[in-house]
Amino acid sequence: MLTARHQASRTARRIGSVAAIALGATMLGGALDAASADCTAATGCGGGVSTPSTSGHTITVQVSGSFVSGGSSGSGGTTSVAVPSPCWYEQGYSGKEYAEWVDSGEAAAIWHHTGGDADGSFEAHPDYQKHANDDDGHWYGGSCSSETFGDDLDSFFAYSDKWFADHETVWVPAGGQPPTPPVPPTILRDAALKAMTLPEPTFDWNPKAQGAASLVNLDTWFWLRDNVDNGSVTASAGGNSVTVGANRESVTFSAPDAGAVDCADGGTAWSDGATSDCVLYFRRASAGAPVTAQSHWGVSWTANGRPMGALDPIDATDTANVRVIEVQTVNRAG
């Protein structure tokens, strides 16, 4: 958790020191809710500015792909999810409020007492006089939260330094919206993974005797009904796009009384003359032997078209009760 004191020691990073004073002295001795805010001297901290909460600032991300809701490869769907953003734009003073803040000398005084720039001087936004009589539009400055970085504050400061260097204070007229900040690829990756639903490995079998029952002491074929072996989910926001792809590598069919078998191709549907190694062998009759299919998926991701490597594999399972009957024959010798 970053305290105002910690932030004040990093004035050169432009995080928090001006915000703490402008937002109120009550923040100076306490914590900033695991967040750091930047209301720069170029924007001020008007009544519309708020410190990020512990839940962080969120941005709406569009997520689409064949595995957004499972199903056949290529069908999928599209949805929107809210994800935390390390940095964003916060509303500051109106044009008139900012001009009055600058012209009164208060802005320069605050900047001086918090360290300001290297030479201690204050520079107002060059266009501030153009909006000096505007009560409806507002200046927007940057805010950054360390929440999404956990305890890795070095990475947080490196990210926020770059963000502030690349994102200047902006003027937003009444009814307008500030620019959507970029969302780091790792956050988009996590959003895509969270939205990914792998197809359940529903399956069929043969033989199917009375009431779809298999037989004792006879090879029982198993195969996936919907033999989908690949799919993906893409999450996009703020100029970045990440795709998480999944490829089914194998399926394991197992039953308590019949062992287990790994099937690289998901099994072959039974037909006259076909062959398959995806079989189980039941040794005793059962009113409902639980057969489980567990599909194993390799997962990888790309960011803006660039391969980023493998992720942890994912499994999906489905279970069905297979009735197993014993057929008896009588051999009458002559």
Query: For residue range 245-266, what is the model confidence (pLDDT) as tens digits?
Result: 999 999 999 999 889 999 999 9
Q: Are residues 258 and 128 in the same domain?
A: no
Say if 115 falls within a structural domain: yes
Does residue 118 surpass a pLDDT of 80? no
Q: What is the structure's pLDDT at 73? A: 46
Residue owning tokens 């409902």: 288
What mean pLDDT is reported for the chain? 77
Say if 73 falls within a structural domain: yes
Q: Are residues 68 and 145 in the same domain?
A: yes
At 268, the amino acid letter reads T
The H or E element spanning position 194 is helix 185-195
Say if 70 falls within a structural domain: yes
Say if 332 falls within a structural domain: no
**More reliable by pLDDT, 55 or 78:** 78
pTM of this prediction?
Answer: 0.70
Sorted by sequence, the CB contacts under 8 Å of residue 50 that are 6+ apart come out as 90
Q: What is the structure's pLDDT at 85? A: 84
Q: Are residues 166 and 307 in the same domain?
A: no
**End position of a domain, from candidates 181, 216, 247:** 181
Q: Measuring CA to CA, which residue among 244, 245, 248, 324 is closest to residue 293? A: 248
Q: Are residues 304 and 170 in the same domain?
A: no
Sorted by sequence, the CB contacts under 8 Å of residue 139 that are 6+ apart come out as 42, 43, 44, 92, 93, 94, 95, 98, 125, 128, 131, 169, 170, 171, 172
Residue owning tokens 């770059």: 162
Contact 237, 258 (CB under 8 A): no
Structure tokens that stand for 9 in this block: 């020691």
Q: Are residues 256 and 159 in the same domain?
A: no
Region 116-126 average pLDDT: 71
**More reliable by pLDDT, 30 or 331:** 331
Each residue's pLDDT tens digit, 132-190: 999 999 999 888 888 888 899 999 999 899 989 888 889 999 999 888 887 889 999 99
Region 36-65 average pLDDT: 51
Q: Are residues 96 and 154 in the same domain?
A: yes
**End position of a domain, from candidates 150, 181, 212:** 181
Say if 258 falls within a structural domain: yes
Say if 331 falls within a structural domain: no
Domain hosting 80: range is 4-181
Say if 192 falls within a structural domain: no
Q: Are residues 150 and 28 in the same domain?
A: yes
Each residue's pLDDT tens digit, 85-109: 888 888 999 999 999 999 999 988 8
CA dihedral 111, 114, 116, 121 (to 10 degrees): 50
Each residue's pLDDT tens digit, 207-225: 876 666 677 778 899 999 9
Q: Are residues 174 and 218 in the same domain?
A: no
Report how far residue 94's alpha carbon sits from residue 292's, in angstroms, rounded to the nearest whole number: 63
Which of 117-126, 160-169, 178-187, 288-297 is least confident?
117-126
Q: Are residues 8 and 153 in the same domain?
A: yes
Q: Are residues 235 and 319 in the same domain?
A: yes
Domains in the chain, number: 2
The conformation of residue 71, written as its DSSP 8-state character, comes to S
Q: Are residues 169 and 219 in the same domain?
A: no
Say if 333 falls within a structural domain: no
Does residue 55 surpass a pLDDT of 90? no
Q: Are residues 169 and 273 in the same domain?
A: no
Contact 261, 253 (CB under 8 A): yes
